[in-house]
Amino acid sequence: MSEFILKHQEGAVLTLTFNRVDKKNALLGEMYTDLSDALERASTDDAVRAVVLQGSVEVFTAGNDLIDFLSNPPDAGKGREVPVFRFLEALRAFPKPIVAAVCGPAVGVGTTLLMHCDLVYAGDNAAFSMPFVNLGVCPEAGSSLLLQNLVGYHRAAEKLMLGEPFYAEEALEMGLVNRILPPHEVNGYAQAQAAKLAAKSVASLRITKALMKQHHPTLSAVMMEEGKHFSELIRGPAAKEAMSAIMEKRRPDFSKC
């Protein structure tokens, strides 16, 4: 496990912490691999009964590392060999409860991964966004399906098409988070909730989660379709323009793409 994902187990709760704070916890391939290894192992390890996914008090994650995106764009043809796709599938299929603790920015996959978690607690400093269109790509992690199931088509379209940030109060009202807390209390509260879950019947929780998740039978196929379009778009002119604009600290010009 790299230094960028910290792994800590207390009792039956496994905590995975994004730890690349100087880069706002932007996710590199090796970080997705570490997360996937940990989740895949935890899914069959009887000693783990619940997982917490957290960042720091200042930042959850700035999403995929943009430089990594440019130098190593995901290729849907390689399926689970692509670290981000492997991680998303491990998260989708994870059979035990996952509790997320979100403070500060949660950009891109930082927001979409929350739709796969069971409980989400947010600091009052949390800022969510899914700026895929602004980067010339498209939604991932099943968010094109899960978000509209959560909030209806028009609100999902607003979040996915405009890609503007929204904050803790709105996320609570949307049903994306369970509770808002002062930032310093979020990780501790998530731990306590996970410990409560870990003390319950594993079989009951597993079946409860499976029963609730079965209502998305097409989710895996949606994620694969999103991945295919994402990997085409990231190689296209709009993504190139968006990334260049970020590097050059200017507004992108999408008039020709």
* Interacting residue with ligand COA among 13, 14, 16, 26 (CB under 6 A): 26
Phi and psi at residue 121, in whole multiples of 5°? -115, 135
Cα torsion angle, 106, 110, 114, 119, sign: negative
Give the nearest distance from C-beta 137 to ligand COA in angstroms: 7
- Mark the segment that binds ligand COA (CB under 6 A) among 58-66, 87-95, 201-209, 221-229: 58-66
* Interacting residue with ligand COA among 51, 53, 62, 138 (CB under 6 A): 62
Using CB under 6 A as the binding rule, whether residue 67 contacts ligand COA is answered as yes
Using CB under 6 A as the binding rule, whether residue 183 contacts ligand COA is answered as no
Cα separation values, 179 from 183, 200, 242, Å: 12, 21, 34
Size of the site for ligand COA (CB under 6 A): 15
Give the nearest distance from C-beta 245 to ligand COA in angstroms: 11
- Mark the segment that binds ligand COA (CB under 6 A) among 72-80, 100-108, 203-211, 220-228: 100-108
Using CB under 6 A as the binding rule, whether residue 108 contacts ligand COA is answered as yes
The residues pairing with 106 across neighbouring beta strands, listed in sequence order, are 61, 128
* Interacting residue with ligand COA among 103, 135, 180, 234 (CB under 6 A): 135
Phi and psi at residue 234, in whole multiples of 5°? -65, -20
**Per-residue contact flags (x/-) with ligand COA for residues 194 to 233, judged by CB under 6 A:** ----------------------------------------
| Beta carbon nearer to ligand COA, 66 or 192 | 66
d(CA 80, CA 29): 12
> What is the SS3 assignment for 94?
coil
| Beta carbon nearer to ligand COA, 189 or 230 | 230
Phi and psi at residue 228, in whole multiples of 5°? -65, -50
End-to-end CA distance of the chain: 40
Cα separation values, 229 from 86, 107, 169, 218, Å: 17, 20, 32, 17
* Interacting residue with ligand COA among 57, 66, 172, 192 (CB under 6 A): 66
**Per-residue contact flags (x/-) with ligand COA for residues 114 to 133, judged by CB under 6 A:** -----------------xx-
Query: Which residues of the chain form beta strands (DSSP E)?
Result: 5-10, 13-18, 50-54, 98-102, 105-107, 119-123, 127-129, 166-167, 179-181
| Beta carbon nearer to ligand COA, 34 or 65 | 65
Give the nearest distance from C-beta 125 to ligand COA in angstroms: 11
DSSP string, 197-246: HHTS-HHHHHHHHHHHHTT-TTHHHHHHHHHHHHHHHTTSHHHHHHHHHH
Residues found near ligand COA in the complex (CB under 6 A) = 23-24, 26, 62-67, 105, 107-108, 131-132, 135
